[in-house]
Structure 1
Amino acid sequence: MGSQLNPYIAFDGDARQAMEFYHDVLGGKLELGTFADFGSAESPDADKIMHATLTTADGFTVMAWDVPERVPFNPGTNVALYLGGDDEGLREYFEKLSAGGTVAMPLKKQIWGDEAGTLVDRFGITWMVNITAKQS
């Protein structure tokens, strides 16, 4: 298989809800494992997500975890998830991901010819969507 690079999102206790939401939007297979599932049943973080993976039919892989109490959680705006391609289905993802969130840049035709938009979902994660213009 070789190497791969995937986004791994840190949450402050709501990784399960976020990953279930992304699963509803993107489809695919969602695997969730708590700290207890990985042998930390006595931990105060036992019910939190230690590792989650969402793998979709479109080839997307998103991973996440709940930061344990002993690790500082400092949310920021230095990471965004990018969905790009020529599939019109990306428009539906944009609409669904924006539910309960904030659209920072509406999905519309941009100066470079593609349709693009940016949103912050209800979990504070920034998503950038770019639909490649069809070549005529």
Structure 2
Amino acid sequence: MKAIAYLQFNGNTQEALDFYETALQAKVMKVNFGALPQNPTAPLSEEEQNMIMESRIEFSNNILMMSDVLPSMQAVTGAVAQGTNVIISIIDGDPDTTKRYFENLSKEGTIIMPISSVPWSSSFGILIDKFGVMWKFNSDASKFLDRLI
């Protein structure tokens, strides 16, 4: 299990990836929202499908992850703004430990997305703890990107 910085953007993750790839001489992996099957009752626009769902940059034995936050998600999480677009992401942990940490951190906090199995992870969830810090859990973060790229 690892804890890493996770950057959120308002539709310009690709621009950030291009910048960081050059600036940090990084290896970039990414998946767009359009790579997943669409919900027929709430299809994403072409612009949203082109947004980055998940990405990882690797440089000097470090990892940063980042993604765009869809407008529909911002209705739940709040608008993405500079200074509040960094979350702590817990990745590649076993589902039991991930669930335990999630439950512990959610006490007196707000659960944005309950910990559950989703198409891209066996254990995924998002919460804001009682101090206002956003946490994202993804037990299969590295496997997901490796599988799709």
Task: Using structure 2 for the length normalisation, give the TM-score.
Answer: 0.47
Residue 70 of structure 1: aligned partner: 72
Cα distance in 1 for partners of 2:22, 2:83 equals 24
- Is residue 16–residue 32 contact of structure 1 (8 Å, CA) maintained in 2? no
Cα distance in 1 for partners of 2:15, 2:25 equals 15
Q: How does 1:18-33 map to 2 (within 5 A)?
A: 18-33=16-31
Q: For 1:42-80, what per-residue CA distance to the aligned partner results, in whole angstroms no more than 9, with x for missing partners?
A: 412111000010011x11111111101102223142577
Larger radius of gyration: 1
Q: How does 1:98-109 map to 2 (within 5 A)?
A: none
Cα distance in 1 for partners of 2:58, 2:29 equals 9
SS of residue matched to 1:39: coil
Cα distance in 1 for partners of 2:54, 2:61 equals 19
Residue 44 of structure 2: aligned partner: 43
Structure 1 residue 38: Cα displacement: 2.4
Flag the 1:35–1:29 CA change in 2: closer, same or farther, 3 A: same
Once superposed, which parts of structure 1, at least 4 consecutive aligned residues long, lie more than 6 Å away? none
Cα distance in 2 for partners of 1:30, 1:40 equals 25
2:3 matches 1:5: yes
Aligned length: 77
CA-based RMSD of the aligned residues comes to: 2.0
Q: Which structure is higher in helix share?
A: 2
Residue 13 of structure 2: aligned partner: 15
Point out where structure 1 has 5 or more consecutive residues left out of the alignment.
81-136
| Percent identical residues | 18
2:52 matches 1:52: no
Higher relative contact order (CA 8 A, sep 6+): 2
